[in-house]
Amino acid sequence: MPVAPVSSVHATANATAASMAAAGHPSALRQLPQSEQIKAAAGQFEAISYDNYGPHFDGMLHHEDGTFHVYCNVQRCGPRHEGRARFTLAHELAHYLIPEHHAALCSGVAPHHPSFCNKANAKLYVEVEADFFASRVLMPEVRFRAVIERTGFGLAAMRRTANELGTSLQSTARRFEDSLTHPCAFVVWRDGKEPWFVVSAALRQYGFIFVKKLPTPVAGSATAVALAEAVKPSPDIRESASVMSQWFTGVFDGSERDLPVKEEAMKTAYGMITWLSVNPSTLTKLRTLDQQLR
């Protein structure tokens, strides 16, 4: 399936969110699971089905004879009103509404397309595009900024943001990826699978691009304690201090870029999230180092 320009995906997502809001749903598509709304935005869906489909996919958009059918797996995503189910449906809507994806489906290049919303899909850029679209449809820019300015910063604030917007923790955290106001990163840990990560634009601009492939949690750290907890999910948020070299590639232990970072961790229904953020003093040092390199 061919990829699309980021600007095109962003524009399509904004237009879809505006269409939903104009239809009477200004609260960031909180009622998205209702098929009537999807059909109003997309126009050609034959049906949207919620059922148990085993471990094979979270959502799937199937095309046949000019019609489209969306399947949402409640076994993996939960009831249709939950954040993960809403994200899955918005993700499948992306494959329909992004022109390049739509053309591939109609031509038979990709007649059906299973998706997993808790997979990094680093090698499948069309999945990154669909995730990008879904996060912006569910959390439009103006609405998202207004909410995070009120809820604050950190893992507890992100949880409040997710509750207010009706989104999952993972999709809400992912929404910070292009944030220029919140220097942060998060790592999603899944049982028996390699963790995946997202770094916000506000942190990437200082050269912190990649989280180590298999970061080893320090004994007693927030991440280590949360990973060891038997209860899942847990409302408890663990906190500890860490340093950049513990998490990011290209940062050497004891170097001037090995600055303090706040580490927060929490168990969720689908794994565990580590949230990394820098305080104002660390941010000032990053700006100073960046200016010295210019």
Cα–Cα dist 262/242, whole Å: 6
User: Residue 77's pLDDT is what?
Assistant: 72
DSSP strand E in the chain: where? 45-51, 59-64, 67-73, 112-115, 184-190, 193-199, 238-243, 260-268, 271-277
Mean pLDDT, range 78-104, rounded to an integer: 78
What confidence category does residue 32 fall into, taking pLDDT thresholds of 50, 70 and 90? Answer: very low
Q: What is the pLDDT of residue 135?
A: 83
Q: Is 199 left (phi over 0), alpha (psi -120 to 50) or beta?
A: beta
- Rounded percentage of the chain residues whose pLDDT exceeds 90: 21
Helix (H, G, I), strand (E, B) or coil at 80: coil
Which one is predicted more confidently, 66 or 89?
89
Residue at token pair 């706040």: 262
**CA 248 vs CA 34, 187, 255, 280: distances in Å:** 41, 11, 13, 19
pLDDT above 70 for 19: no
**How much is the pTM?**
0.75
Q: Are 36 and 26 in contact (CB under 8 A)?
A: no
Mean pLDDT of 125-135: 80
Full set of structural domains in the chain with CATH? 6-138 (1.10.10), 153-293 (3.30.450)
Q: Residue 177: what pLDDT?
A: 80
The per-residue pLDDT for 210 is 92
Query: Which tokens hold the place of 89?
Result: 């449906």
Which residues, in sequence order, are CB contacts of 284 under 8 Å at separation 6+? none
Distance (Å, whole) CA 161 – CA 149? 10
Q: Which residues contact 4 (CB under 8 A, 6 or more apart)?
A: 98, 99, 100, 101, 129
Model confidence over 220-243: pLDDT tens digits? 999 999 998 877 778 889 999 999
Mean pLDDT, range 128-132, rounded to an integer: 81
pLDDT at 22 over 60: no
- Kindly report the average pLDDT of the chain as a whole number: 78
Is residue 261 predicted with pLDDT exceeding 50?
yes
219 or 193: which leads in pLDDT: 219
Q: Which amino acid is at 241?
A: A
For residue 230, the one-letter residue type is A
Q: Among 7-21, 192-206, 253-267, which stretch is predicted with the lowest mean pLDDT?
A: 7-21
Q: Which residues face 60 on adjacent strands? A: 71, 114
Tokens of 227: 């990973």
Per-residue pLDDT, averaged over 43-64, amounts to 72
Q: What is the pLDDT of residue 153?
A: 82
